[in-house]
Structure 1
Amino acid sequence: MLYSPDELLALLIVTGGIVVQAWVGIGFGLLAAPLLYLIEPAYVPGPVLVLGWMLSIVVVLKQRHSLNWRRVLPAIVARLPGSWCGALLLVSIAPWQLSLFFGTALLLAVWLSLRRYALALTPFSLTVAGFLSGVLGTTTSVGGPPMALLYQHESRLTTRNEIAAFFLIGTPLSVLMLLLNGGLELLAPSLILKMTPGVLLGFWLSRRLEGAFLNDNVRPAILLISALSALVVLWQGVTGGLNG
C-alpha cells in the first residue's frame, strides 16, 4: 500500500490522536479531526468516527474480562435517545446555536470540577451523561467530555476501558441517527483503510506508555481535553454565527 506525503502526515496525526485516547479515554476526535481536515476534508466526519470506533473495538477486546458492563450500561442505553434528539436538533435549530450552548455548558462543567464539585458515579448520573454525550456527539462530533468528566476520579484504566465500551455501542448509534435524518455520509473507505495501521500503532504505543509512567491520575488530562473541547465547540458556534 503506497502513501503520499500528505497521507503519511495524516497517518502520523491519527497515530498521535489514538495514543492520547487510548491513554486517557477521550481526545482522538478533538486532536485529529481539525488537523486531518486541513489535509483533506474527506477525513471528517466519516473516517474520524470509524477510526475512533476501531480503537474502542481493540480496547474492549483486550479488556473484555475486566470491563464492568453493568455499570456503564445506563449510559449506553441513554446514548440512543440522546443521539436521536441531537439529530432532530440539527434539523430544527441552527448548529451554531447548539455549539454555543453546549460549549458554554462544558466550560461550566469543567469549572465546577476544578472547584471540586464532583458527581457520584451512579446509574442516574451515567444515564444523564450518556444522554448528553449522545446529543453533543451527534450535533458537534465532540461527545466524550460528558462521560469523561463523570469518570475523572476513577483510575485511568477504568476510565479508558468503560468509556471505550460506551463508544463501542454509542458511536454507531450516532451514525445511525444521522443517516436516518440524512445528515451524514460515511464515505472515503480508502482513507479509512490507509489510516487503520495508525489505530493499531497508536494502541501499541499507548501500551508501552503504561510501563513508562507510574502516575495513574487521569483527572488533569480529562479536564484539559474537556476544556479544549468546550473551546472548540464554542469556536464552531461563534464562526457559524458570524458566517450565518
Structure 2
Amino acid sequence: MLYSSLELLALLIVTISIIVQAWVGIGFGLLAAPLLYLIDPAYVPGPVLMLGWLLSVVVVFKQRHSLNFRRILPAIVARLPGSWCGALLLVSIASWQLSLFFGSALLLAVWLSLRRYSLPLNGVSLTVAGFLSGVLGTATSVGGPPIALLYQHEARLTARNEIAAFFLVGTPLSLLMLWWQGGASVLGFSLIVKMLPGVIIGFWLSRHLERVVSVESARPAILLVSAISAIVVLIQGILGGLAA
C-alpha cells in the first residue's frame, strides 16, 4: 500500500491522537479532526469516527475481564435519546448558537471541577452525562467531555476502559446516522484502511507509555482536554455567528 506525503502526515496525526485517547480516554476526535480536515475534508466525520471506534474495540477487548459494563450501561442507553435530541436541535436551532451554548456550559463544568465541585458517579449522573454526550456529540461532534468529567476522580485505567465501552456502543449510532444521510461514500472506507496502522501503532505505543509514565489519575489531562474542547466549540460558535 503506497502513501503520499500528505497521507503519511495524516497517519502521523492519527497515531499521536490515538496515543492520547488510549492513555486518557478522550481526545482523538478533538486532536485529529481539525488537522485531518485541513489535509482532506473527506477524513471528517466518517473516518475519524470509525478510527476512534476501532480504538474502543481494541481497548474493550484487551480489558474485557476487568471492565465494569454494568456501571457504564445507563450512559450507553441514554446516549440514544441524547443523539436524537441533538439531531432535533440541529434542525430547529442554528449550529453556531448550539456551539456557543454547549461550549459555555462545558467551560463552566471544567471551572466547577477546578473549584472541586463534582458529581458522584452513579446511575443518575451517568444517565445525564450519557444523554448530554449524545446531544453534544451530534450537535458539535465533541461528545467525550461530559462522560470524561464524570470520571475525573476515578483511576486512569478505569476511566479509560469504561469511556471506551461507552464509545464502543455509542459511536456506531453516529456512523449509522451518517450512512443513512449520505450513504457509504460518507464513511470513507479507503481512508480508514490507510489510517488503520495509526490505530495499531498508536495503541502499541500507548502501552509502552504506561510503563514509562506511571500515573494513576488522568484528572489533569481530562480537565485540559475538556477545556480545549470547550474553547474549540466556542470558537466554532463565534465564527459561525459572525458568518451568519
Q: TM-score, normalised by structure 2?
A: 0.97
Query: Which moves more between the two structures, 187-196 or 117-126?
Result: 187-196
Gap runs ≥5 in structure 1 = none
Q: Residues 44 and 15 (structure 1 numbering): CA distance in 2 closer, same or farther, change over 3 Å?
A: same
For residue 178 of structure 1, report the CA deviation from its aligned partner: 5.0
Partners in 2 of 1:79 and 1:9 — Cα distance? 33
Tell me if the contact between 1:83 and 1:177 (Cα under 8 Å) persists in the aligned partners. no
Work out whether residues 134 and 174 of structure 1, in 8 Å CA contact, stay in contact via their aligned partners in 2: no
Equivalent pair of 2:178/2:186 in contact (CA under 8 Å): no
2:182 and 2:22 mapped to 1: Cα distance? Answer: 28
What is residue 48 of structure 2 aligned with on the other side? 48
Aligned length in residues: 243
Deviations 1:46-98 (A, max 9, x none): 10000000000000000011100000000000000001111111111110010
Q: 1:92 to 1:183 in 2, by over 3 A?
A: farther
Judge conservation of contact 2:82–2:130 (CA < 8 Å) in 1: yes
Query: Residue 37 of structure 2 aligns with which residue?
Result: 37
Structure 1 segment 90-239 matched on structure 2, within 5 A: 90-180=90-180, 182=181, 186-239=186-239
CA distance in 2: counterparts of 1:126 and 1:210, whole angstroms: 27
Q: Is the 8 A contact 2:129 2:150 kept in 1?
A: yes
1:132-156: per-residue Cα shift (whole Å, max 9, x none)?
A: 0000011111000000000000001
Please report how far the alpha carbon of residue 160 of structure 1 lies from its aligned counterpart in structure 2 after TM superposition.
0.4
> SS where residue 187 of structure 2 aligns?
coil
Contact 1:87 1:177 in 2 (8 A): no
Give the deviation of 1:13 after TM superposition. 0.2
CA RMSD of the aligned region, Å? 1.2
Distance in 1 separating the partners of 2:93 and 2:174: 18
Alpha-carbon distance between aligned partners in 2 of 1:174 and 1:160, rounded to the nearest angstrom: 20
Is structure 2 residue 77 aligned with structure 1 residue 74?
A: no
* Corresponding residue of 1:65: 65
Structure 2: which 5+ runs fail to align? none
Would the aligned equivalents of 1:155 and 1:218 in 2 still touch at CA under 8 Å? yes
